[in-house]
Amino acid sequence: MKLPPPEYQRKIANAFNRVATDYETHAQLQQEIGEVLLERLQWLKLQPTQILDVGTGTGRLARALTVRYPTAHIYAIDIALQMVKQAQKELQIQQYVICGDATQLPIVDHSIDLIVSNLMLQWCPHPQVVFAEFARVLKPQGALFFSTFGPDTLKELRQSWAQVDDKNHVNDFMEMHDLGDALLQVGLSDPVVDVERFENFYQTVQSLMRYLKNLGAHSVIAGSPTGLMGKNKFKALLSAYETYRIPDQGLPVTFEIIYGYALGSRNRSGRVGETPISLSQRDRRNS
């Protein structure tokens, strides 16, 4: 499978490095979806002892997992070093926070009981590569729970841009059924995917852009900063988006959330008693 180019990975890391300090102040949607994932863990029949949080950000979900599974070891990974440093500020004794790439996880094969990933996959141009890594590190009886953005996310912004020019200003996100197929293709079993939609309102396009910027998502998910696009083009965008305004509410913004669940590959055997994290990565957890 094709890995994303290094320059794209650096762009993602740099975008989130810039917002790490204040990220939790603005990441209400991410926090709400994280709560949904935690609720869905009630479906889990096993009691995990080795848990992997991929795309941990500032570590909020990892901390919640520690509360739910107090005897488990939590391995929290993020591609952005400054996010990792924020997460390390509240590091608990059974947690290991690692700066790493979801497409090349620093985790040994078939050593993880539970993988949780909250709103990370949409930053990966080839989610199949990440799913293959999940399949590699997950024990046969292990489970994966994830969330990601679906194709209707920011549809109003995408459609408004389409009236301005023919460039792709908003990321294309995978369809729910394509994600389910990708889970099967990498050998994960019994996948289940479903979708939920949220609608937020902003009074101006500028306030929406500020929100995306504060999440580190602006240049990655929603095109170039407004200062680089030209005044006339930006005015055309404002005019196009204004047609969506709902009286007394504002400009609607749709977020489509896809939730997924799968079990580990049943034709592989786990490595009983093996420490999931490599020694070289373990040494970096408190750096």
For residue 280, the model assigns a pLDDT of: 39
Cα separation, 193 vs 181, whole angstroms: 10
Mean pLDDT of the 3-20 span: 83
Per-residue pLDDT at 221? 54
Helix axes 127-137, 176-185, angle to 10 degrees: 40
Residue 3 in contact with residue 126, Cβ under 8 Å? yes
pLDDT of residue 157: 95
| Residue written as token pair 């590569």 | 129
pLDDT above 70: residue 276: no
Per residue in 20-44, pLDDT (tens digit) is: 888 888 888 999 999 999 999 998 8
Query: What per-residue confidence (pLDDT) applies to 68?
Result: 95
Two tokens, residue 55: 């795309």
Q: Cα angle vertex 104, ends 98, 107, to 5°?
A: 55
Average pLDDT of the chain, as a whole number: 87
131 vs 183: CA distance, rounded Å: 6
The pLDDT tens digits of the residues spanning 58-114 come to 999 999 999 999 999 999 999 999 999 999 987 776 789 999 999 999 999 999 999
CATH annotation of 6-153+171-197+256-282: 3.40.50.150
Minimum mean pLDDT range among 13-22, 97-106, 127-136, 143-152: 13-22
> What is the pLDDT at residue 268?
53
Give the other-Cβ count within 10 Å of 225's Cβ. 11
Torsion angle of alpha carbons 202, 28, 80, 135, nearest 10°?
Answer: -110
CA proximity to 119, closest of 47, 202, 58, 63:
58
Beta-strand relationship, 138-149 and 251-263? antiparallel
Q: Could you tell me the residue ranges of all domains in the chain? A: 6-153+171-197+256-282
CB neighbour class for 258 (10 Å; exposed up to 12, middle 13-18, buried from 19): buried
Dihedral angle, C-alpha 176, 61, 220, 13, nearest 10 °? -130
Mean pLDDT of 115-131: 94
Q: What pLDDT does 93 receive?
A: 65
The predicted-structure confidence for 220-269, as pLDDT tens digits, reads as follows 554 444 445 678 999 999 999 999 999 999 999 999 999 999 999 876 54
At residue 164 the predicted structure's pLDDT band, cuts being 50, 70 and 90, is: very high
Q: Is residue 285 predicted with pLDDT exceeding 60? A: no
Q: Give the DSSP per-residue string, the chain.
A: -PPPPHHHHHHHHHHHHTTTTTHHHH-HHHHHHHHHHHHHGGG--S--SEEEEET-TTSHHHHHHHHHSTTSEEEEEES-HHHHHHHHTT--TTEEEEE-BTTB-SB-TT-EEEEEEES-GGG-S-HHHHHHHHHHHEEEEEEEEEEEE-TTTTHHHHHHHHTT-SS--S-----HHHHHHHHHHTT-EEEEEEEEEEEEEESSHHHHHHHHHHTT-HHHHS-S-GGGT-HHHHHHHHHHHHTT-BTTTBEEEEEEEEEEEEEPPTTS---TT--SB-HHHHTTTT-
pLDDT of residue 252: 98
Q: What is the pLDDT of residues 168-211, one digit of tens each?
A: 888 889 999 999 999 999 999 999 999 999 999 999 999 999 88
